[in-house]
């Protein structure tokens, strides 16, 4: 009998999601102690089979090497469980007595877990453990080229779950994985949240599925080696990270940037660590071999050894070569090796200064790694801070190999195989994803104050009277913020003219006065005066113009002296430095709809409301 593979796989998805959902109805009632026992059982099962599964993954996918895949399996079944041991995820998480709030962890439901071909077994244990720790069920979707090792790993997880006393059906794995099946899994009505690991297309599909999704962007990781670094140690760490599992980890080193003064010593250190330095012709051959359609990595090159890549490029690479190193002259499409390479091929770029090196690292992140990871090797802590504040990455690693540091092996970061890149990369989080991202938090909150206590009346307005002296002081402070200094009698006259002369109405009708803030009164007053003819005359030095002396035969003006509106200068262009200066001087910056404001300036100004829109 002939079968339509897509239809078969979609039906399998529907069946297995329903099974996972039914099992979750039981599992979601488990206590924290019961859930922790399930997680420990899964972790123990994974450790027991970590070596065998690593060898299966290499044999089936042809990517990476068994030793490093074993290390990734152990990261997820040993280091991760130890890190989350004791973490509360269900039931009462904490009490906040002073606010009378109780926080309760609530599982999300069925987790759809998309697994990649680069980390097919470690991802199964990672996603299963964090989903189960959060009280959820999970349905795993293998990559078609890693189906056997992924399904074998999932079967071991289900076996451990059952042995711990939980329903085995809370862990499901699609055996006839197709693109249609993956789409059906992500869009299934009973799928609650998606953990997507894969290419850019897969991540976009997860985010467009209509479900909450944790997907991550590519990791074009730059490494700055500062002049203050321990150079031999820095190069050794770079080679260790770049050669790890033949570059299949998304946070592997991609391009090293350093000042030109370090060039000769650095290249010598690479040679000492068995890195093979490509000449110009060999670099061009490797570029042509690695990429298709610009900077898209050819699948057949992903996770291959330096020797295999050299053979594919027609280059004779020594048998003991650890990585391939190529010097490049810039960043961007004209320099393909400045992109993510998913292989043990490393680019190096030399600049004239620390600032230029930092700018190059920022350009590398914008060329395909925005928000992900960057590294600096340095002893100068001031340079580390400057670098960390400047670059657009949410994991800034210091003096460590990039893969091991980013996933929490050599750093204090949370052990994770899903590394968020934040909103700048279109991701829902910038965190290392863990169980805490797969729960919702319910809050029981008691009343602790009345509305009147929460929002007391303005100090200038009491139960039935307007305190004009308080308003005078408030107006003086407001005008000072605008750069004006006036005498008290002048302010008092302005307040008297702006406020109603009749006695204030009873309390219920006083609400409009409450809304009539000091700034509103003064701004309307200044706006009204700005429409009048300015009074000519010299300045008295207090910010208010005085009238010209009148001849003795001329009667004095009957109008009282008025406070003219301050001169407003509209800025056509505002950058971050302008905003910082305005904050320091306690000034406002006036702009028009046609003014150009840089994004960083607008973000900084929003905190203190520095920018004021004005009409020309």
Active site residues: 250
Length of the chain: 616
- Distance, CA of 16 to CA of 19 (rounded, Å): 5
- Distance, CA of 282 to CA of 551 (rounded, Å): 93
Cβ 146 vs Cβ 173: under 8 Å: no
Cβ 392 vs Cβ 443: under 8 Å: no
| Sole residue written with tokens 């009632």 | 29
Cβ 304 vs Cβ 248: under 8 Å: no
- Distance, CA of 26 to CA of 416 (rounded, Å): 27
337: nearest Cα among 298, 287, 275? 287
Cα 420–Cα 214–Cα 36 angle in degrees, nearest 5: 95
113: nearest Cα among 29, 68, 177, 38? 177
If DSSP codes are grouped into helix, strand and coil, which group holds residue 41? helix
The secondary structure of 522-542, three-state, reads: HHHHHHHHHCCCCCCCCECCC
- Distance, CA of 282 to CA of 314 (rounded, Å): 9
356: nearest Cα among 387, 397, 401, 325? 387
Sheet-wide strand order for 101-107: 91-96, 101-107, 439-445
328: nearest Cα among 238, 255, 225? 255
- Distance, CA of 160 to CA of 165 (rounded, Å): 9
Task: Show the beta-strand stretches assigned E in 51-200.
Answer: 91-96, 101-107, 110-114, 137-141, 171-173, 191-196
167: nearest Cα among 10, 9, 34, 13? 34
Cβ 430 vs Cβ 371: under 8 Å: yes
Cα 157–Cα 143–Cα 209 angle in degrees, nearest 5: 95
Strand partners, 612: 590
């Amino acid at each position: 009998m002939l079968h339509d593979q897509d239809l078969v796989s979609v039906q399998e998805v529907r069946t297995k999601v329903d099974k996972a959902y039914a099992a979750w109805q039981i599992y979601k009632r488990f206590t924290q102690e019961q859930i922790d026992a399930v997680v420990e059982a899964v972790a123990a099962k994974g450790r027991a089979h970590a070596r065998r599964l690593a060898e299966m993954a290499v044999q089936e996918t042809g990517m990476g090497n068994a030793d490093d895949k074993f290390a990734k399996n152990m990261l997820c079944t040993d280091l991760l469980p130890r890190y989350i041991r004791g973490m509360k995820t269900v039931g009462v998480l904490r009490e906040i007595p002073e606010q009378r709030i109780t926080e309760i962890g609530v599982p999300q439901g069925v987790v759809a877990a998309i697994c990649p071909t680069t980390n097919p077994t470690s991802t199964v244990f990672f996603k299963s453990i964090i989903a189960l720790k959060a009280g959820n069920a999970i349905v795993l979707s293998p990559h078609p080229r890693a189906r056997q090792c992924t399904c074998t790993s999932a079967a071991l997880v289900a076996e451990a779950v059952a042995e711990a006393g939980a329903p085995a059906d809370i862990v499901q794995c699609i055996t006839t994985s197709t693109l249609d099946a993956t789409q059906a899994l992500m869009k299934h009505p009973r799928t609650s949240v998606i953990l997507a690991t894969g290419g850019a297309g897969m991540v976009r599909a997860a985010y467009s599925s209509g479900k909450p999704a944790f997907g991550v962007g590519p990791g074009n990781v730059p490494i700055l080696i500062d002049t203050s670094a321990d150079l031999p140690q820095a190069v050794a760490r770079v080679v260790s990270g770049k050669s790890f599992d033949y570059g299949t980890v998304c946070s592997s080193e991609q391009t090293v940037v350093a000042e030109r003064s370090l060039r000769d010593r650095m290249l010598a250190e690479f040679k000492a660590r068995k890195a093979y330095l490509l000449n110009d012709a060999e670099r061009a051959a490797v570029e042509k071999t690695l990429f298709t359609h610009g900077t898209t990595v050819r699948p057949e090159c992903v996770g291959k050894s330096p020797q295999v890549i050299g053979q594919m490029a027609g280059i004779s690479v020594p048998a003991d070569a650890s990585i391939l190193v190529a010097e490049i002259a810039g960043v961007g499409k004209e320099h393909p090796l400045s992109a993510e390479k998913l292989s043990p091929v490393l680019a190096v770029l030399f600049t004239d200064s620390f600032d230029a090196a930092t700018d190059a690292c920022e350009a590398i992140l914008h060329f395909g790694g925005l928000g992900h990871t960057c590294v600096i090797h340095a002893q100068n802590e001031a340079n580390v801070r400057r670098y960390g504040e400047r670059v657009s990455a949410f994991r800034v690693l210091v003096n460590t190999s990039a893969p091991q540091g980013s996933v929490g092996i050599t750093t204090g970061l949370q052990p994770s195989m899903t590394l968020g890149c934040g909103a700048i990369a279109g991701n829902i989080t910038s965190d290392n994803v863990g169980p805490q991202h797969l729960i919702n938090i319910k809050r029981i909150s008691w009343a602790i104050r009345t509305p009147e206590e929460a929002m007391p009346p303005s100090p200038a307005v009491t139960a039935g009277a307007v305190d004009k002296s308080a308003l005078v002081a408030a107006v003086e402070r407001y005008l000072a913020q605008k750069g004006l200094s006036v005498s008290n009698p002048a302010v008092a006259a302005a307040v008297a003219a702006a406020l109603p002369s009749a006695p204030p109405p009873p309390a219920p009708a006083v609400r409009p006065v409450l809304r009539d803030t000091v700034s509103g009164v003064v701004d309307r007053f200044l706006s009204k005066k700005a429409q009048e003819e300015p009074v000519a005359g010299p300045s008295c030095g207090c910010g208010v113009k005085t009238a010209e002396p009148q001849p003795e035969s001329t009667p004095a003006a009957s109008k009282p002296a008025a406070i003219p509106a301050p001169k407003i200068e509209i800025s056509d262009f505002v950058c971050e430095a302008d905003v910082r200066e305005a904050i320091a001087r306690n000034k406002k910056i006036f702009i028009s709809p046609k003014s150009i404001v840089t994004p960083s300036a607008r973000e900084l100004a929003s905190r203190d409301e520095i920018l004021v829109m004005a009409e020309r």
